[in-house]
Structure 1
Amino acid sequence: MTANHSTPGGALDIVVLGEQLSLLPQRAVLWRTRKMLIVADIHFGKAAAFRAGGIPVPHGTTRANLDALDVLIAAHEVRHIVFLGDFLHARTARAPATLMALQRWREHHPDMKLTLVRGNHDLHAGDPPAQLAVDVVDEPWQVGPLALCHHPQELTGAYVLAGHVHPVVRLAVGRDSLRLPCFVFGEKQATLPAFGAFTGGYEIRGGQDEQLFVCTDDRVFIYPRQV
């Protein structure tokens, strides 16, 4: 795996097994030659699930996720979106407003190919409604030299892109600190940050054989290795 300098739009290009991938500040991977956008852990309807449980969290997270997808589709001429698991957060995420927003978005992108690699939340929430026309596959789903998964794992003969962990890294200067989402690339697998707007994050330090790529609002940058 080799990394190149940031490109216009703040992306950072890397090469994995001969394939160039663009790490986007919006916490997604763009596989330009395939016009494929890869996102992990979007968790549609998570806020609705919390409200169903009596927790008064804000509305609008599903719309925010869909708007973020629209920005990337328009900017990069995306023709195929792959969701690396956890499409719907839970069965209670199937609120009418959530499903209606998803359906209207789908109607605006009738020719977009959508693929979901099932994750742990999908096992409980169930597959997306049939009218969304999402192809659903089990992990690992191999595309060229890459294996697209939900759970991080090592596979023979393929480089794994996965989600599930929601990795973030803590940056500190003096008494000030902040947590930022990051991509984690190792020798045989990579973990993507959560794409969803209401997902939280798991703080990591990175292993000796791992490289972290941190996302800010407008660019991705290489974070020093943790020893």
Structure 2
Amino acid sequence: MNLTIRNQKFQLHPLGGLFWVEKSLLLISDMHLGKVSHFRKFGAAVPRKVIHKNFLLLDQIVADFQPFQICFLGDLFHSSLNKEWELFENWVAKTPAEILLVAGNHDIIAPEKFEKVNVSIFPELVIDSFLLTHHPEEREHHFTFCGHIHPSIKLKGFGRERIKLPCFFKSNNQMILPAFGQFTGTHTLNPKKNDEVYAIVEDSIIKV
């Protein structure tokens, strides 16, 4: 799905990332790496293969766009350090793009750990008239890309059919990205008249 916002071109990917064409910048939000290991540590029956699935999907979207930069819009890691940090280190080492992190409320790992693997951390980023942040925020004269909400939309079919789909949720001056992680959950949003919703349906993006 291709969009033009403020004369800039963006591409929505069905894995949940957004690519800024002119800047060769890939935006990804709410990976929540380490969450699977965190829950397994306390006895939750979460399949270990979900851990590797996150990195396989990262490899896939990076291969599709081949960006110069990758910016994670917060909650890259779910909690404190665990074994998934080593997998992240290995992934960073083999990924040619420059990696940036806009810190979210879950990002409590010491900045020094990221700096050692050449990941730069920021409270927010402003590029031209675009604000990159974790929490939704509508700021005057800016268009915001953010995460945090894990947005989804509920659709009704004939009869009593119901389906909930992750989505990109766009208002006049803001777009909330879906959670990229495979073990994150979603929060249903109710669009207003001028909102635009781009639902992820298997391998496609559909405007609803």
The equivalent of 1:56 in structure 2 is: 45
Spell out structure 1 runs of 4+ moving beyond 4 A: none
SS at match of 2:59: helix
- Counting aligned pairs with the same residue, the percent is 28
Count of residues paired in the alignment:
206
Q: CA deviation at 1:125?
A: 4.0
CA contact (8 A) 1:72 1:78 kept: no
The equivalent of 2:144 in structure 1 is: 160
Q: CA deviation at 1:53?
A: 2.5
Choose from 139, 145, 156 the match for 2:129: 145
Q: CA deviation at 1:49?
A: 1.1
**Where do 5+ consecutive residues of structure 2 fail to align?**
none
TM-score computed with the length of structure 1 as normaliser: 0.86
CA contact (8 A) 2:172 2:194 kept: yes
Instruction: Tell me whether 59-68 or 141-150 shows the greater mean CA deviation.
Output: 59-68
Q: Structure 1: which amino acid aligns with 2:204?
A: R
Residues 23-42 of structure 1 show CA distances to partners (whole Å, capped at 9, x for unaligned) of 11111101122211101101
Residues 73-112 of structure 1 show CA distances to partners (whole Å, capped at 9, x for unaligned) of 1122222110000011001xx222x122112212212x32
Residues 51-76 of structure 1 show CA distances to partners (whole Å, capped at 9, x for unaligned) of 22232322133321211111111122
The equivalent of 2:16 in structure 1 is: 27
**Where do 5+ consecutive residues of structure 1 fail to align?**
1-11
Choose from 65, 75, 98 the match for 1:76: 65
The equivalent of 1:108 in structure 2 is: 94
For the residues of structure 1 that align with 2:186 and 2:135, how far apart are their CA atoms?
15
CA contact (8 A) 2:114 2:120 kept: no
Choose from 63, 73, 82 the match for 1:95: 82
* RMSD of Structure 2 on Structure 1 (CA): 1.5
Structure 1 residues 125 and 176, CA gap change in structure 2 (3 angstroms): farther
Within 5 Å, which residues of 2 pair with 1:1-227? 12-91=1-80, 94-96=81-83, 98-109=84-95, 111-122=96-107, 124-127=108-111, 128-139=113-124, 141-173=125-157, 174-223=159-208
CA contact (8 A) 1:102 1:132 kept: no
Structure 1 residues 61 and 79, CA gap change in structure 2 (3 angstroms): farther
Q: Structure 1: which amino acid aligns with 2:151?
A: P
CA contact (8 A) 1:166 1:194 kept: yes
For the residues of structure 2 that align with 1:52 and 1:150, how far apart are their CA atoms?
27
For the residues of structure 1 that align with 2:196 and 2:97, how far apart are their CA atoms?
32
